[in-house]
Amino acid sequence: MKFTALPDLASRPHGGTVMAASDDYFAAKENLIKAEAPVFRPHTFTEKGQEYDGWETRRRFGRSEGNDWALLRLGAPGVVRGVNVDTAFFLGNYPEKVRIEATGVEGYPSVAELETAEWFELVPPRALSGGQDNLFTVDSEQRVTHLRVHMLPDGGIARLRVHGEVVPDPRDLDGVPFDLVATLSGGTVVGCSDSFFSPPANMLQPGESRFMADGWETARRRDDGHDWAIVRLACQAVPSVAEFATTHYRGNPPDRVALSGIDATTSSLNHDDAWFPLLPETKLQADTTHRFRLTSGRPVTHVRVENHPDGGIGRFRLYGSPTAAARDELALRWFNLLPEAQAIAVLTAAGASLAAAKAAATARPATVPPQL
């Protein structure tokens, strides 16, 4: 899978934020993580000059040493697989190079507190080209919560996309039903029949669908079939409630929806007879949030959402509880991916001595989840 197909861990809809920047005189730092593609409106001059849809700093040459930077908190902490430094419309004013650092920390530290965090280099200094996507793969197996983006030395970046695998904190999920397919929980679309108007991954985003293209919408079918999307859950779980929102789909929702499940730990996704019904074909209404109880009581790892025959779904939620084995698996993967400093902080907060925490953190990968 190309890394650009993975979720954007930093995007504003996922809860990302730009906490601080050295300078954003010409264009606001917050533009970096806007979900929509950058645009250019010519002759939109302000008292500071032409307005750009991105983050743009003043010229540093002759003004001061160093370089400009921006500090980001990821909305969805996880393992970064690649970044896109998009310099769209920045042609004579893009940075010469970019460098990106990362860290993983506990809680919600302030900008000042993050200065003392243990940072490591995620993307070494790399040359940029103007007016285009600049794609850089990342080879790191650490879960990160914050990034520090360095412009070398100054200029403008339209968007920063941080693509990776969401690794949720199991402490936030333990003991409560949660949305098993949400992007922020680690839910992922692994296949679909059609995504002509918009991709099915949109259904898993947080919040209410903002407009029609913010959901999953298929082309109009001219045969006797129906559309479908397969979603891998955050972990093996027993689903209890399914929610389908057709928000903004007033003339084009599915006539009916159905949901089936499978446990891929015991069966292959390609075995049609291994899928079992969770929700039979059920009528939907336009621009409505529908909630249905599920009573199978069986664990699943994947679900198949069926649009009968086609149309648009703004959001899909699936609430339930992980199995005991899945809960341990989530905790173990999360712990093994933590940067060492954060792993030590987690263990000491749970009551371990500093010496024991350091020993356990350096001895990873662990085979038994920590008792938190």
H or E segment and range at residue 332: helix 324-337
H or E segment and range at residue 84: strand 68-86
Residue 16 burial class via C-beta count within 10 angstroms: exposed 0-12, middle 13-18, buried 19 and up: buried
Q: How many angstroms separate the Cα of 217 from the Cα of each of 12, 110, 243, 363?
A: 22, 40, 17, 47
* CA separation for the pair 35, 8 (Å, rounded): 9
* CA separation for the pair 180, 326 (Å, rounded): 12
**pLDDT at residue 177, rounded to an integer:** 79
H or E segment and range at residue 329: helix 324-337
Within 72-160, residue ranges assigned H as helices are 111-114
pLDDT tens per residue across span 13-56: 999 999 999 999 999 999 999 999 999 888 777 777 778 889 99
CB-based contacts of 313, cutoff 8 Å, min separation 6: 203, 215, 216, 217, 244, 245, 246, 249, 253, 254, 257, 305, 307
pLDDT tens per residue across span 144-184: 999 999 999 999 999 999 999 999 999 888 887 799 999 99
Structure tokens at 110: 């302030």
pLDDT tens per residue across span 89-141: 999 999 999 999 999 999 999 999 999 999 999 999 999 999 999 999 999 99
Q: Model's pTM, two decimal places?
A: 0.89
SS3 of residue 136 by DSSP: strand
